[in-house]
Amino acid sequence: MIRKEICAFACLGLLSGAAMAQSSVTLYGIVDTTLRYTNHADPSGGSRFQMADGLVTGDRIGFRGVEDLGGGNKAIFTLENGFSPANGTLLQGGREFGRQAFVGLSGQWGTLTLGRQYTVTHEMVASHDPFALANYAPDDIIGGNYSGARLDNTAKYRGAYGPFYFSAAFSFGNVPGNFHTGSSQAVGVGYGSGPWNVSVTYQVMNDVTNAFYGLPIDPSQQKVWSATGTYTFSDTVLYFGYVGSRVDVADYRDDTGYLAANQQLLPSLHLIAAGYYDHMHHADQSGNRWTGTLLLDYFLSKRTDVYVEADYTKLSGVWTSTAALSQFQTPFFGYSSQVGANLGLRHTF
């Protein structure tokens, strides 16, 4: 009897070890700190030198888990927070896992995830942007204000069918008695084969104005659509795209286009050049925003790189005088241009 019990415990131990071997949890992150100079940084036109969060990639630490369920199916989760390396504080409004927090299932049929996630438009546009929708608006004038960045209470499906890929999401508003309030719907379709990778998206976010922009007006519905892509040849990647955004009650209409290139000069040295254009219409006025940026990125190792960057932004018309959908209440405090420069150090793990 004792021998049978010992064998039973031994078998349970082997099965437990096999289950553990098929599961994993990965700790990962990015620490990216920038020294930045900008002019026209206050109402008097003064310049500012500052240490801040990374220019391109937001700082983060996260946990990513996978469990093999058999038959090609897996259970997955991601918990990821954002923080400022300059002072150690949490970002995304102080949330513990403000960047991402979701659980899901994946298999040959695709991937279904539930929780706080990137929007469909943000994911697809970021994959076709040289800065992956940068952390700082001067290097990316699309960003979370147009794409929505992340949404809470989101169910998202992603799948691939040959060279085509597809994504759809629904975000619950969680408002009693009103299924529509605070909800969002999105769909995106892409194609990748050979040197080409292109995608289109359409997204509707209901009652988003106060949540995203803090504007003192009635909640609005925002509609966003995009057509973006990349073309790769030799050591060069070309980026191109268009993103349209409409916020109804707030009456913001933006049409944004961009062209960019990432050129590998040496195995450890890359040069990124990008130009962005945004035409905004608001309150029967219109204006333009032009941004050009150059970034030289040198990799000291596979995980550590240093970069230098310069950007110039020119504003006209309504862009100089309104609380535009950007990181500024009034862009550049009413001045029509801004020059910026960065020196950054980034480590990934």
In a domain, 139, yes or no: yes
Q: What proportion of the chain, given as a percentage, has pLDDT over 90?
A: 71
Decide: 174 and 182 in contact? Cβ < 8 Å. yes
pTM of the prediction? 0.88
In a domain, 5, yes or no: no
Average pLDDT over every residue of 40-61: 92
Helix (H, G, I), strand (E, B) or coil at 189: strand
- What local confidence, expressed as pLDDT, does residue 260 receive? 97
**Element holding 2 (H helix, E strand):** helix 2-21
Number of domains in the chain: 1
Domain with 50 in it: what CATH number? 2.40.160.10
Helix (H, G, I), strand (E, B) or coil at 13: helix
- What local confidence, expressed as pLDDT, does residue 60 receive? 97
**Six token digits for residue 5:** 């019990």
- What's the CA gap between 261 and 31, in Å, rounded? 25
In a domain, 12, yes or no: no
In a domain, 4, yes or no: no
148-178 pLDDT, tens digit per residue, is 789 999 999 999 999 999 999 999 999 999 9
The answer, yes or no, to whether residue 297 has pLDDT greater than 90, is yes
DSSP state of 199: E
65-103 pLDDT, tens digit per residue, is 999 999 999 999 999 999 999 999 999 989 999 999 999
Range of the domain at 117: 23-348
Decide: 94 and 81 in contact? Cβ < 8 Å. no
In a domain, 77, yes or no: yes
- What's the CA gap between 163 and 251, in Å, rounded? 38
Strands (DSSP E) along 162-251, which ranges? Answer: 164-171, 184-193, 196-205, 222-233, 236-247
